[in-house]
């Protein structure tokens, strides 16, 4: 692999990571839930991640991928997809 491809991949990873951080911050600040609800949601997520086994996590990830891939054409066919430019 060439160094230029590696630099491009690292730059893309940094860019998408930052976008995810911005999206999460906007989602948390824009939520109308109070602070206790937000903190309890983060706590539940941390507990599930820590104490669940790798096999159920793998199944959950694969099911999420399947749901996203089957749901994407349905969203693209709706008015939401037309507004966002998905065809």
pLDDT tens digits along 27-85: 777 777 777 877 787 787 777 777 777 777 778 778 878 877 777 666 666 655 555 55
CA dihedral 31, 87, 75, 16 (to 10 degrees): -40
Output the pLDDT for position 12.
92
Q: Which two tokens stand for residue 34?
A: 């109070």
CA dihedral 60, 64, 65, 70 (to 10 degrees): 140
pLDDT-based confidence at residue 86 (cuts at 50, 70, 90): low
- How much helix, strand and coil, in percent to the nearest 5, is found in the chain? 85, 0, 15
CB 71 within 8 A of CB 77: no
């Amino acid at each position: 692999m060439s160094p230029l491809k590696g630099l491009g991949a690292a730059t893309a990873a940094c860019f998408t990571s930052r976008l995810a951080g911005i999206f999460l911050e906007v989602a948390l600040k824009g939520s109308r839930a109070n602070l206790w609800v937000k903190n309890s949601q983060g706590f539940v997520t941390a507990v599930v991640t820590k104490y669940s086994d790798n096999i159920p996590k793998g199944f959950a990830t694969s099911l999420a991928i399947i749901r996203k891939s089957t749901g994407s054409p349905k969203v693209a066919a709706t008015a939401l997809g037309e507004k966002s430019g998905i065809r």
